[in-house]
Every structure is written in structure tokens, then in C-alpha cells.
């Protein structure tokens, strides 16, 4: 094995033989030592992820995914967990109590995923993502001289045959769901495009010897990726027959780890179902006024039926759809939205703006097929690098009708909402604040619920504060986007627990959430590929909204929106329950068995 097994084995020996007896240091010192060791050691188990978070000690290596590697990682996680449990969390500082709870939750989640969920043996998207990130993570940002990064790319490309053979040996073909197999086959082709776009054009900047090695390594990798593509197309895709449903037991456990929230699956489902009706009523009120402007003599029933309300809502939405970018204008429209949102935040003094660079890019091909856009922030352990707001282009094989459906969904006002969510003041600005938190351990364990919840909250907040001059159509579209988040949480549960059919899932999204066919079709695929992730938006928004209401009540007349926002974003991206405790000076919610007694 070539992934520093000796160093890891030495660490395992250290943490399994050391005790806290005798001349015991202060709990904070002991915990911080363990946290530093975790940060120092985790990178050896995933060099590719390490590059992504900003640890560049293993930039010349690819992950090992063999049985031996998994067993060693499992032993390491258990050993860290054992030592962590010897620390009395009640004796830690408040900041370290938060990090203690995050580390404990992360270790338990990692162990469960390795030993029970076992996604490593049935989800090929793990490996297409790793293959693409192995190159993209080195070349997308200028964290080191280009020559150094290209030489590390060559070293990684030389390992592709070993890595991809391990993938084929690891995956249990018949357990792979068909949708995962098809998506992986498409993404694998995108890895070649990443080499073509980010590596090949730069070979001329190397010395003759370095260039010769890189060109040879590219050939090695391309042949290995080609072999992988033939296996995907001829073996995996035809034979993949796994159940896409996780089932109630695995889903509820995965949801619990993803949310780190007291809300249960049933409570989330019931809250979402009620919220759909409330949102329909809010959208109806806005659309009714738009209808009256055009048809002032219309008499509206006092108790409209659901069908009548939806028809009026669609009338309002059609007005918003009338302003849509052309297919080649999506990136420029996003760029204009970023500028407008930034100026609005500055003019209204809503949140402290950060000087970090933001670049809007076309989504790399190996990342496509899951979502339309994402925010790719710098590694959690490094600062000063670019954030990428990535937007997926319209697929070349779509029909004219499908393109039109997509552009209606992502009309000009929707692009405003998307930009608020992904960039300003959503993910980009929130993560720019988070990266200034001084503790590195906090950065590794960002809560998806906090991050996504903030982005949905930002959509609502900007609209409430009057972005785009209180445009009623923007308000209607913002409500539609929130309705989409609510419906996605319902869909998430329905797919992985109830086994909802595609027809019923599409009907839910198109009829109840007013999604265009292309958006709904994409979300149907995403729901199958990302169990529990689609629930983070709805739950996160509920938590952020509740936290703001509590802060307004707690601070009374002293409440200031900018002060509140800056404070909420100052502690990194932990689950909202920890931010609440820090913000309102409440007891830190430690893992249940570790909470100190009131006495």
C-alpha cells in the first residue's frame, strides 16, 4: 500500500495504548490535541478529499479503496472515538463543546456509513466524483505554482489504472441501482473532458522531461478511463438492478446523521404537507392581484377550489416566465444577478461583505447530472482562493421543447433566486464568513442543514427587504422556490421509504409545486441519487427562521439585522442548535449521554 500506512499504524498504536490516567492535562488541551491529530491523520485515508479541503501533503496520491484500506480506516475511526469518549465534555470550553459534539457525530456517521450503509459497494458516483476531483481539485485554484500542481497531476494520473480496477473489484454490480449506473457512465466521460480542459493545454509550460512524463501519464489515464467506460457500458449499466430505495431503517438513520436535528421523519413529512397548502394560499394572493390588474372585472370566489387557486397561480407564473434568458445567456444573467444582489446588500447594510473572489463558471462535465448549479467554495483549511458559482449548460441532446421548459423554469427572476441561494448572500457569502472562524475542526464538519437552510433563508430575507423594488413577480417566484424545497423534502421521503412511482413523483412536482417538466425530471433523478440531502433545505430553513424569531424576541428593540446576520455566520457552519446556544447564551447541546447534570 502506498498511502502512508506506516504513519497511520503508528497513530493507531498511539491512541489505543495511551490513557488519560495519571498526570492528566486540562480537558481542553487534551481535546484540542485529539482534534489536531484527527486533522493531521484523516488526509491519509482520502488524499483527494484532503486536496479539496486544503491539505496538500498528499496531492500526489489517489485514494485506496481496497478491503484493507477500508478495514484500516474503520479501526482508526473506532480508535479516535474511544479516546474521544474518555474526555469529559462538560469540562470543555463552550467552543470546544461544540467541536466535541461535531467530531463525535461525524465519527459515528462515518462508521455507520462504512459498516451499515456500505455505499462504497453499490454507489459508483462516489468513484466518478473522486476521479474527477483528483484532477479538478489540483487545477481549479492557484494554491501552489502551476508546475508543482501539474507534476502532481501526472503522479495521480499514473495511478488511474490501479484506482479504477479497485472500483471494478469493489462494486457489487447487481446491487447498483440503474439510475446510479447510468449517471456514473455519463460522468466518467466527463473525467476525460477535465483532462482536456484543465491539463492538456498547459503541458507546454513544463520542462521537456516533465512534459514527457505528463503526456505519458495522460495516455495511461485515458486508456484506463476508456477501459472503465467499456466496463460501465457493457457490464454495469446492463446488469445494475439494485433497489434505489434505502428502506425505512437505513433512510431514517441516514436522515438522522444528515440533519442532526430533533425532527423525526414523520414530523418533517407532516410539516411539509401543511406548508404546501399555506404556500399555495400565499401564492394565490399575489397572483390574484396580478390577474385583477389585467382583468379588473373578474369576480373571485370566496372559497376557491384547489384547482381554481392553482390555475390563478399559473397565470401569475406565466408572467414571470415571459422574461427568460436565451440558452447562451444563463451565465451572463447569473453574473448580472450577483452584481445586483451585492449592491443591494451593500446599500441596505444587511450583512458584512467579504473581499473573497467569486467566479461564475460552466459546471465541469464530471459533476453534471445531479443539480443545475452549485457553489464550490475553497477548501475549509485554506483561505484567499476563488469560490466558483458553477452553472450547468443545457444538454446538447435536449429537444427544443425540453430547452424551452428549462428556460421557463430558470427565467430571469428564477436566476435572481438561484444567485441569492448559491452566491450572494447565500453559500458564497456564508462560507466566506465561516472560513474566518479560527478553529479548523469546525471547518471539516460543516452542517448541510445550516448551509442549505441559510441559503433558503437568504432567498426569503432578500425578498422581504425589497430586492428588485418589491417586484411581486419576484415574490411569487421566491415562494415557488420555497414550495419546491418543501416538495423536495416530501419527495425525498416518498422515494426512499414509500417507493413512490415516477408518475406520482412527477405529478407531485408539476401539479403541486408548479415545476416545469425538465426541472421535475432532473429532481426525480436527484432524489434517487441523494437520499436525505433534499430534506436539508426545508429543515434548515425552518431552523434559521425560528432562530431569527427567537433573536428578535430576545434582543427586542436592540435587534439589528446586520449584527444578527454577522453574528450567526461567525461560528462557522455547525448545526443551528449550536448557533442558537452560542447566540442566546444557552447550554451547549452535547450528545445526550454526555450532557452535564443540572447539579
Count the neighbouring beta carbons within 10 Å of the beta carbon of residue 241.
12
pLDDT in tens, 331-341: 889 999 999 99
Three-state DSSP class for residue 342: helix
**Distance, CA of 570 to CA of 431 (rounded, Å):** 10
Looking at residue 5, its pLDDT comes to 43
- The three cell numbers locating residue 361: 463558471
> What mean pLDDT comes out for the span 158-178?
98
Residue located via cell numbers 457489487 = 172
> What mean pLDDT comes out for the span 15-25?
38
Q: Given a cut of 60, is residue 461 above it in pLDDT?
A: yes
- The three cell numbers locating residue 358: 467569486
Q: In the chain, what are the domain boundaries?
A: 5-246, 274-319, 327-583
Looking at residue 254, its pLDDT comes to 97
Three-state DSSP class for residue 358: strand
Looking at residue 582, its pLDDT comes to 97
| pLDDT range class, residue 556, cuts 50, 70, 90 | very high
Radius of gyration in angstroms for the set of CA atoms belonging to the chain, rounded to a whole number: 25
> What mean pLDDT comes out for the span 121-139?
96
Could you write out the three-class secondary structure of 492-537? HHHHHHHCCCHHHHHHHHHHHCCCCHHHHHHHHHHHHHCCCCCHHH
Looking at residue 4, its pLDDT comes to 43
> What mean pLDDT comes out for the span 93-115?
97
- Give the neighbor-by-neighbor strand order of the sheet with 373-376: 358-362, 387-391, 373-376
Looking at residue 536, its pLDDT comes to 96
Looking at residue 16, its pLDDT comes to 38
Looking at residue 10, its pLDDT comes to 40
> What mean pLDDT comes out for the span 32-36?
95
> What mean pLDDT comes out for the span 160-187?
97
> What mean pLDDT comes out for the span 480-494?
96
Largest pairwise CA distance in the chain:
86
Lowest mean pLDDT among 189-203, 247-261, 389-403, 560-574: 389-403
Q: Given a cut of 70, is residue 369 above it in pLDDT?
A: no
Looking at residue 371, its pLDDT comes to 63
| pLDDT range class, residue 121, cuts 50, 70, 90 | very high
Name the more confident of 25 and 290.
Answer: 290
Looking at residue 367, its pLDDT comes to 65
Looking at residue 368, its pLDDT comes to 66
Name the more confident of 196 and 405.
Answer: 196
- Predicted TM-score (pTM) of the model is 0.90
Looking at residue 540, its pLDDT comes to 97
The whole-chain average pLDDT of the chain stands at 91
Up-side HSE of residue 69: CA atoms within 13 Å toward CB? 19
**Distance, CA of 237 to CA of 177 (rounded, Å):** 9
Looking at residue 74, its pLDDT comes to 97
Looking at residue 402, its pLDDT comes to 86
Lowest mean pLDDT among 9-18, 80-89, 166-175: 9-18
Looking at residue 326, its pLDDT comes to 85
**Distance, CA of 71 to CA of 67 (rounded, Å):** 6
> What mean pLDDT comes out for the span 130-143?
94
Strand partners, 360: 389
Looking at residue 417, its pLDDT comes to 96
- The three cell numbers locating residue 211: 512534459
Looking at residue 362, its pLDDT comes to 81
Looking at residue 394, its pLDDT comes to 80
| pLDDT range class, residue 440, cuts 50, 70, 90 | confident
Q: What percent of the chain has pLDDT over 90?
A: 81
Looking at residue 385, its pLDDT comes to 82
Count the neighbouring beta carbons within 10 Å of the beta carbon of residue 68.
10
pLDDT in tens, 191-238: 999 999 999 999 998 999 999 999 999 999 999 999 999 999 999 999
**Distance, CA of 231 to CA of 127 (rounded, Å):** 14
φ, ψ dihedrals at 16, nearest 5° = -90, -15
Provide the strand spans (E) within 383-458.
Answer: 387-391
Looking at residue 17, its pLDDT comes to 37
φ, ψ dihedrals at 361, nearest 5° = -135, 165
| pLDDT range class, residue 313, cuts 50, 70, 90 | very high
DSSP 392: P
Looking at residue 366, its pLDDT comes to 64
- The three cell numbers locating residue 63: 485514494
| pLDDT range class, residue 470, cuts 50, 70, 90 | confident
Q: Given a cut of 60, is residue 41 above it in pLDDT?
A: yes
Q: Given a cut of 50, is residue 584 above it in pLDDT?
A: yes
**Residues whose CB is less than 8 angstroms from the CB of residue 541 and which lie 6 or more positions away in sequence, other chains included:** 453, 456, 457, 460, 482, 485
**Distance, CA of 598 to CA of 80 (rounded, Å):** 29
Angle between helices 576-583 and 561-568 (to 10 degrees): 120
Q: Given a cut of 60, is residue 546 above it in pLDDT?
A: yes
Amino acid at each position: 500500500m502506498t498511502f502512508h500506512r506506516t504513519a497511520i499504524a503508528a497513530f493507531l498504536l498511539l491512541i489505543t495504548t495511551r490513557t488519560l490516567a495519571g498526570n492528566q492535562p486540562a480537558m481542553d488541551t487534551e481535546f484540542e490535541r485529539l482534534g489536531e491529530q484527527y486533522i493531521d491523520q484523516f488526509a491519509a485515508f482520502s488524499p483527494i478529499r484532503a486536496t479539496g479541503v486544503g491539505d496538500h501533503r498528499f496531492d500526489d496520491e489517489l485514494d485506496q479503496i481496497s478491503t484493507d484500506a477500508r478495514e484500516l480506516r474503520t479501526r482508526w475511526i473506532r480508535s479516535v472515538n474511544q479516546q474521544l469518549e474518555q474526555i469529559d465534555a462538560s469540562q470543555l470550553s463552550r467552543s470546544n463543546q461544540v467541536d466535541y459534539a461535531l467530531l463525535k457525530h461525524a465519527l459515528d456517521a462515518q462508521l455507520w456509513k462504512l459498516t451499515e450503509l456500505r455505499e462504497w459497494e453499490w454507489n459508483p458516483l462516489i468513484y466518478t466524483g473522486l476521479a474527477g476531483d483528483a484532477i479538478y481539485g489540483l487545477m481549479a485554484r492557484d494554491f501552489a505554482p502551476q508546475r508543482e500542481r501539474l507534476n502532481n497531476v501526472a503522479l495521480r494520473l499514473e495511478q488511474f489504472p490501479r484506482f479504477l480496477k479497485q472500483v471494478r473489484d469493489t462494486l457489487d454490480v447487481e446491487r447498483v441501482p440503474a439510475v446510479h449506473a447510468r449517471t456514473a457512465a455519463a460522468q466518467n466521460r466527463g473525467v476525460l473532458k477535465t483532462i482536456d480542459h484543465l491539463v492538456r493545454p498547459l503541458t507546454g509550460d513544463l520542462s521537456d522531461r516533465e512534459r514527457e512524463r505528463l503526456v505519458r501519464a495522460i495516455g495511461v489515464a485515458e486508456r484506463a478511463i476508456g477501459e472503465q467506460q467499456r466496463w460501465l457500458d457493457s457490464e454495469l449499466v446492463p446488469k445494475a438492478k439494485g433497489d434505489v430505495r434505502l428502506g425505512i431503517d437505513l433512510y431514517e438513520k441516514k436522515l438522522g446523521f444528515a440533519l442532526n436535528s430533533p425532527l423525526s421523519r414523520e414530523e418533517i413529512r407532516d410539516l411539509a404537507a401543511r406548508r404546501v397548502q399555506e404556500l399555495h394560499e400565499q401564492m394565490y394572493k399575489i397572483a390574484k392581484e396580478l390577474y385583477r390588474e389585467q382583468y379588473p372585472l373578474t369576480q373571485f370566489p370566496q372559497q376557491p377550489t384547489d384547482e381554481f387557486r392553482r390555475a390563478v397561480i399559473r397565470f401569475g407564473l406565466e408572467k414571470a416566465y415571459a422574461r427568460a434568458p436565451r440558452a447562451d445567456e444563463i451565465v451572463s444573467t447569473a453574473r448580472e444577478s450577483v452584481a445586483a444582489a451585492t449592491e443591494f446588500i451593500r446599500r441596505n447594510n444587511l450583512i458584512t461583505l467579504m473581499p473573497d473572489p467569486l467566479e461564475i463558471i460552466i459546471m465541469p462535465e464530471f459533476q453534471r447530472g445531479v443539480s443545475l448549479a452549485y457553489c464550490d467554495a475553497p477548501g475549509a483549511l485554506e483561505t484567499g482562493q476563488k469560490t466558483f458559482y458553477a452553472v450547468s449548460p443545457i444538454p446538447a441532446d435536449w429537444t427544443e421543447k425540453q430547452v424551452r421548459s428549462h428556460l421557463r423554469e430558470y427565467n430571469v427572476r428564477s436566476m435572481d433566486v438561484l444567485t441569492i441561494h448559491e452566491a450572494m448572500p447565500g453559500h458564497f457569502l456564508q462560507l466566506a464568513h465561516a472560513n474566518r472562524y479560527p478553529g479548523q475542526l469546525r471547518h471539516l464538519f460543516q452542517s448541510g442543514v445550516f448551509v442549505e437552510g441559510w441559503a433558503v433563508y437568504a432567498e426569503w430575507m432578500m425578498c422581504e427587504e425589497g430586492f428588485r423594488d418589491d417586484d411581486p413577480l419576484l415574490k411569487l417566484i421566491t415562494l415557488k422556490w420555497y414550495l419546491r424545497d418543501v416538495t423536495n423534502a416530501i419527495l425525498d421521503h416518498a422515494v426512499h421509504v414509500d417507493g413512490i412511482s415516477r408518475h406520482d413523483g412527477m405529478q407531485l412536482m408539476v401539479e403541486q409545486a408548479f415545476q416545469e417538466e425538465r426541472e421535475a425530471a432532473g429532481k426525480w433523478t436527484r432524489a434517487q441519487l441523494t437520499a436525505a440531502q433534499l430534506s436539508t433545505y426545508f429543515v434548515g430553513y425552518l431552523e434559521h427562521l425560528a432562530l431569527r424569531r427567537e433573536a428578535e424576541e430576545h434582543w427586542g428593540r436592540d435587534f439589528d439585522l446586520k449584527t444578527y446576520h454577522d453574528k450567526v455566520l461567525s461560528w462557522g457552519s455547525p448545526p443551528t442548535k449550536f448557533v442558537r446556544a452560542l447566540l442566546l447564551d444557552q447550554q451547549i447541546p452535547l450528545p445526550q449521554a454526555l450532557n452535564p447534570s443540572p447539579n
